[in-house]
Amino acid sequence: MNLAIVKYNAGNIQSVLFALERLGVDAKVTDDKEELFAADKVIFPGVGAARSAMDSLKEKGLDVVIKQLKQPVLGICVGMQLLFEHSEESDTECLGIIPAKVRLFRPPLGDGGKVPQVGWNDIYNLKTNLFKDVPEHSYIYYVHSYYAEMNPYCIATSNYGLEYASAVQKDNFYGVQFHTEKSAKVGDMILKNFLDL
């Protein structure tokens, strides 16, 4: 399989590479337009701030490239948030692939929830083959202060003082808010399901 990981300044790229290695899969880390178009699948990772991530994509022309990709694309964490129209983080215009917004968790969240959400939480209302053989209410690992509002493209839900979209899919674009690469067996299963799409 020809698997590409988008190279830009907001990547949690090394931990994604380690997770793929556990699955016996090699990936090419690239910001080359032709290599991204030629890949069978593309992973779009991200940690850090939405604004600087978008600036990096624009600087490399990757904002245009990502929107044109026709193969399965998986956004992880900030990579998922950038698929949306807008993020409240630094009032950032994002890629606009998912017509919905990313918002800041605002206390009080109930149960003493703090911002950011750090640690394990469950996912439910699982849809599509991305969650094939993943049991409802499986636990995955989060680190985030911003969340995707509920929207028609939601394929998994979590609750942290309010319900939000923990995974989305529109056409060939998939996104997960949680860190698959830090979510033990469940995370590996979701990554494998993406590779099998």
Element (H, E) at 65: helix 62-68
Element (H, E) at 79: helix 78-81
The label of the residue with tokens 């991200």 reads: 46
The question of whether 149 is a catalytic residue gets the answer no
Catalytic residue among 89, 144, 154, 181: 181
CA atoms within 13 A on the CB side of 108: 3
Please give the Cα distance from 33 to 41 (Å, whole number). 14
The question of whether 181 is a catalytic residue gets the answer yes
Catalytic residue among 35, 77, 137, 144: 77
How big is the chain, counted in residues?
197
Catalytic residue among 89, 94, 144, 179: 179
The question of whether 35 is a catalytic residue gets the answer no
> Hey, which residues are catalytic here?
77, 179, 181
